[in-house]
């Protein structure tokens, strides 16, 4: 299958800190690709650069055949590259519905009702809480809301930064099941995770980032069984 997104020679610095040191990777269309690695490896930085939220020092990003390396965050969203931010970034003093509507705001709420139905179908618990304040949702429900809000922007590629963060294992299972469904509905996913086992389980392809450089790549299953992954990330 062809690559929806191709990254070549991506380099990102914070001042003199070289956070990402010239990495290459591909996201295949309609697949789940996981980017795993330790704290501080450069995973969030990579996602923020794909969303256009931090500048790239060097490198090119091609999306659906187009060079999108220098596009603004809103132009990237318009192309279908939508991020679910780390820490969810829910607007806690707004209602659940208002949070969801924000996701569709940029495209003028076109077909918003249809997209809301899709979010409700994926996350029935969100539907039950629709008029409540987003701040009253549990952590898992807030994560569902953050994913739902991103879906309202009609992504072709959904970027997820640590969706399992701070959630109980049973809730993590729920979230990962939803990610599989979303992917089954034709949306390409790029999943950044410290929950290496869960991420590699649902991903067709994976990359391991260490100190800003790509250390390993393979299918999810290959990486799950790789001695280095087992030792460094799976406590074997």
Note the residues at the interface with ligand ATP (CB under 6 A).
14, 17, 19, 37, 39-45, 194
Bridge-based pairing of strands 213-219 and 205-210 is antiparallel
Please identify, using beta-carbon distances, which residue of 12 and 152 lies nearer to ligand ATP: 12
Question: Least distance from C-beta 37 to ligand ATP, angstroms?
Answer: 5
Please identify, using beta-carbon distances, which residue of 41 and 116 lies nearer to ligand ATP: 41
Question: Least distance from C-beta 161 to ligand ATP, angstroms?
Answer: 7
Question: Least distance from C-beta 211 to ligand ATP, angstroms?
Answer: 8
Candidates 236, 208, 202; CA nearest to 221 is 202
Please identify, using beta-carbon distances, which residue of 23 and 126 lies nearer to ligand ATP: 23
Burial class of residue 186, CB neighbours in 10 A (0-12, 13-18, 19+): exposed
Please identify, using beta-carbon distances, which residue of 126 and 159 lies nearer to ligand ATP: 159
Burial class of residue 193, CB neighbours in 10 A (0-12, 13-18, 19+): buried
**φ, ψ for residue 199, nearest 5 deg:** -65, -45
Question: Least distance from C-beta 117 to ligand ATP, angstroms?
Answer: 34
Element (H, E) at 223: helix 220-224
């Amino acid at each position: 299958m062809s690559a929806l997104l191709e990254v070549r020679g991506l380099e990102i610095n914070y001042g003199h800190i070289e956070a990402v040191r010239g990495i290459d990777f591909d996201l295949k269309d309609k697949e789940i690709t996981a980017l795993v690695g330790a704290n501080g490896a450069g995973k969030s930085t990579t996602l923020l650069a794909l969303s256009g939220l931090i500048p790239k020092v060097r490198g090119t990003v091609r999306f659906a055949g187009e060079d999108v390396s220098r596009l603004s965050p809103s132009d990237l969203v318009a192309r279908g590259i939508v991020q679910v931010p780390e820490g969810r970034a829910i607007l806690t003093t707004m209602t659940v519905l208002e949070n969801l509507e924000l996701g569709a705001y940029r495209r003028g709420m076109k077909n918003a009702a249809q997209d809301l139905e899709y979010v409700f179908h994926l996350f029935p618990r969100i539907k039950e809480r629709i008029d409540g304040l987003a701040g009253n949702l549990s952590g898992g429900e807030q994560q569902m809301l953050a994913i739902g809000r991103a879906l309202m922007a009609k992504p072709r590629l959904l970027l997820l930064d640590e969706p399992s963060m701070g959630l109980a294992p049973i809730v993590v299972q729920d979230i990962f099941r939803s990610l599989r469904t979303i992917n089954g509905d034709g949306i390409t996913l790029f999943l950044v995770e410290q929950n290496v086992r869960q991420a590699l389980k649902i991903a067709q392809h994976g990359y391991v980032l260490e100190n800003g450089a790509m250390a390993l790549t393979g299918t999810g299953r290959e990486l799950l069984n790789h001695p280095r992954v087992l030792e460094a990330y799976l406590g074997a």
